[in-house]
């Protein structure tokens, strides 16, 4: 059975951040992920986690309010990217997170891609024990973000051919970008090293949009997938009141989302 992680940046927001891992554990999640766990010292995170595994963290985006969304593909920002990556890799190691999402940033054009490829190769060499993941983000939610297409991501991953680099398959973004998340999964599942789920079209509790999550779990079981399925969605009500999908997927008792 795949392991399920709660994205505690988006879930359990009814309580302060460091109280959320406990709620995730009580709700039946196997681990947690955090988008940007940089506002609290590692010792505070470790106390809050109390042994709860961490699936993934992101590299620091920079000044979000000013429009920064990472720096890996931003020409002229290589020094900033590399400093932020080393910080992320160090924190991931301290927290026991096996995956780091390398945020590309707002950029476009051939120079941006060349910068991105060079920085990804450098990062993979710096942290050979970490799985690095890149995630296409839809342009409506993330205007100007460099990586905005799964086929583009696949080409970059294939060209680099690095053992610790893969694609982050976010069901929400796949559906928003390409319209058919099933087709995206079929084309690129062999490149995927992290999965995130949400409902479609509202990005609420997982389910809907014609994507068979129960079938996905069964397929991952057959493939002996060793990664995580992370819940990254916007709860329609208090998180704890909308977790029927989790018990259903864990029990495989009924079809979700088809």
Please list the active-site residues. Answer: 135, 232
Q: What are phi and psi of 192, to 5 degrees?
A: -85, 130
- Distance in angstroms (rounded) separating the CA atoms of residues 153 and 189: 12
- Distance in angstroms (rounded) separating the CA atoms of residues 98 and 57: 9
DSSP code of residue 111: H
**Residue 175 CB-half CA count within 13 A:** 18
- Distance in angstroms (rounded) separating the CA atoms of residues 218 and 225: 10
Both structure tokens of 73: 């593909």
Both structure tokens of 160: 């680099």
Question: Residue 208: is it exposed, middle or buried by C-beta count within 10 angstroms (0-12/13-18/19+)?
Answer: middle
């Amino acid at each position: 059975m795949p392991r399920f992680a709660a994205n505690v940046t988006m879930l359990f927001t009814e309580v302060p951040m460091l109280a959320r891992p406990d709620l995730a554990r009580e709700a039946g999640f196997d681990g947690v992920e955090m988008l940007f766990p940089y506002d609290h010292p590692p010792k505070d995170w470790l106390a809050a986690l109390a042994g709860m595994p961490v699936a993934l963290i992101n590299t620091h985006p920079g000044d979000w309010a000013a429009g920064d969304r990472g720096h890996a593909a931003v020409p002229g920002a290589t020094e900033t990217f590399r400093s932020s990556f080393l910080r992320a890799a160090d924190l991931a190691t301290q927290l026991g997170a096996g995956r780091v999402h390398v945020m590309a940033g707002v950029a476009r054009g051939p120079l941006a891609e060349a910068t991105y490829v060079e920085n990804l190769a450098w990062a993979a060499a710096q942290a050979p024990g970490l799985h690095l993941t890149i995630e296409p983000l839809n342009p409506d939610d993330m205007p100007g973000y460099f990586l905005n297409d799964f086929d583009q991501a696949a080409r970059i991953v294939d060209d680099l051919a690095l053992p610790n680099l893969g694609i982050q398959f976010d069901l929400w973004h796949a559906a928003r970008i390409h319209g058919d998340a099933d087709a995206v999964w079929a084309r690129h599942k062999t490149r995927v090293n992290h999965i995130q789920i949400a409902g479609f079209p509202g990005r609420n509790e997982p389910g809907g949009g014609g994507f068979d999550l129960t079938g996905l779990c069964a397929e991952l079981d057959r493939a002996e997938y060793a990664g995580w399925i992370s819940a990254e969605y916007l709860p329609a009500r208090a998180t704890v009141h909308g977790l029927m999908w989790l018990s259903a997927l864990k029990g495989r008792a009924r079809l979700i989302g088809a």
